[in-house]
Amino acid sequence: MGDCDVVDMGFETLHDGQTIQFPPAILAQLGNDTDKATVCFYGHVDVQPAKKEDGWKTDPYTLTENNGNLYGRGATDNKGPVLAWIHAIDTYMALKKDIPVNLKFIIEGVEETGSPGLVKLLKEHEKFFSDVDYIVISDNVWLSRKPALTYGTRGNAYFFVEVESGKKDLHSGTFGGIIHESMRDMVYLLASLVDTSGRILIPGIYDDVAPLTEEENKLYNSIDFDMEEHKNNTEVNTFLYNTKVRGVSSFISSRFFY
């Protein structure tokens, strides 16, 4: 009925030559009905470091129940959401209900360090993902205390930049100010990409970006969200944008759209 494989995520070679093997990932699928859409669930089971002295009332690595809530490192990011999907499938099966979609899973253990082996996995298992129609990422946060499902977000692009100047390592006290310095050039380069309001300055980058419609503005305006409460929760005095909605320069549109 379903398939599940443990797959290699590769390894990393450190500067001293030592190699570190990444934890394996899980690829699983359930259902292969060509009349159904295929949904791929992405999740991870690694967590950020945590110590009780960081402010935890209980041991962060011991799942603890308090007033109906479960507390522990990874309860929301991301072991809890992974387990929720497993329980959902289990419920369908227990009730002998047909799952309305084909399901595929990718669950990894190095997300918190940048998923260094994920590109390798995607290339080596390209066929596994070839029929995926939708992807669900279980990493997310609510904008308020009201439970919510986020069905879209802005895109991301990552680039690696190297700047080289002279081949020889020169003393900054003797040669500083008279040669092109890589660090200074890098600072200038990065500063030219975005202005102080967060708007990208690369020519033409917004040419194919569709403007927000009036319907979308109304939809965003109905989202249960309080700017002042969000400032308190994030412990910042100001955001880049002071308005909740309305156009490109607003909190909601910048958080999810642009």
The token pair that represents 156 in the structure block: 């991301």
Residue 150 CA to residue 144 CA, distance in Å, equals 12
From the candidates 8, 12, 46, 59, give the one annotated as an active-site residue: 46
Tell me which residue of 40, 36, 35 sits closest to 103, measured CA to CA. Answer: 40
Known catalytic membership, residue 46 = yes
Q: At a CB cut-off of 8 Å and minimum separation 6, what does 181 contact?
A: 165, 172
Q: What are the Cα distances from residue 90, in Å, to 85, 86, 99?
A: 9, 6, 11
Task: Report d(CA 45, CA 25) in Å as an integer.
Answer: 10
Whether 111 is catalytic: yes
Considering the candidates 16, 77, 108, 111, report the single residue annotated as catalytic.
Answer: 111
| Region of 10 on the Ramachandran plot (φ > 0 left; ψ -120 to 50 alpha; else beta) | left
Map residue 6 onto helix, strand or coil.
strand
What is the token pair recorded at 17?
């030559």
- Residues involved in catalysis: 46, 111
